[in-house]
A and B are shown apart, each in its own frame.
Chain A
């Protein structure tokens, strides 16, 4: 049973516009959320995270929003660049746990 869901397998955006990637989770014990970025033939690389005590975290062009009541988080990329084209994974964990639960990923294509 998938505890972290990314319902959009793919997303295409024009260069310079905003990319919004969405993620839903079902486990109310999750208190830490991360986004990873993955290029083909490479391992995932950490992008940005957010703790459940916050509802927003920003790092340059990347902002993650957390809506705990809706069990939903989103990643905003502004402005989108062709180099952002990759698969983005949402991940979540609970306090003291050693496991990260990953979503299925969203493939972002930024069109020049």
Chain B
């Protein structure tokens, strides 16, 4: 029972490089989310998706792009990484709006360092 799986778990990037973080869920959830966690800031929503083929901006979307081509996958892309994007990234999924019912399941996180 995998739940929400994030790939990779750790990554070091040079400034200007690009990468894609993959999130996969096996619970047939409609909603998927990408958060970042920074010291002293809590978790902040980057982008989210309410279904296959849909995406929407969250609280801190600049510098990121996302795609939801398949219901089970939600990809987070960094086109040109910056040191300010050094963070721990969490993916989450839920059966419905996470704000109304607390069935949000989080992945284990991806620690990204941009040097």
Residues of A within 8 A of B (CB): 2, 4, 6, 32, 34, 41-46, 49, 89, 91, 93-94, 96-105
Q: Give the shortest distance, in Å, between A71 (CB) and chain B (any CB).
A: 17
CA distance A100 to B92 in the complex (A): 12
Task: Tell me the B41-83 residues at the A interface (CB within 8 Å).
Answer: 41-45, 48, 50, 56, 58-59
CA distance A45 to B109 in the complex (A): 12
Residues of B within 8 A of A6 (CB): 42
Q: Give the shortest distance, in Å, between A32 (CB) and chain B (any CB).
A: 6
Q: List 23 A-B contacts (CB under 8 A).
A: A6-B42, A32-B99, A32-B100, A43-B107, A43-B109, A45-B106, A46-B104, A93-B98, A94-B99, A97-B99, A98-B58, A98-B98, A98-B99, A99-B48, A99-B59, A99-B99, A100-B104, A101-B42, A101-B59, A102-B35, A102-B42, A104-B41, A104-B42
Residues of B within 8 A of A (CB): 4, 31, 35, 40-45, 48, 50, 56, 58-59, 90, 92, 97-100, 102-109
Residues of A within 8 A of B97 (CB): 98
Interchain Cβ contacts within 8 Å, total number: 66
Contact at A43–B50, with CB atoms within 8 Å?
A: no
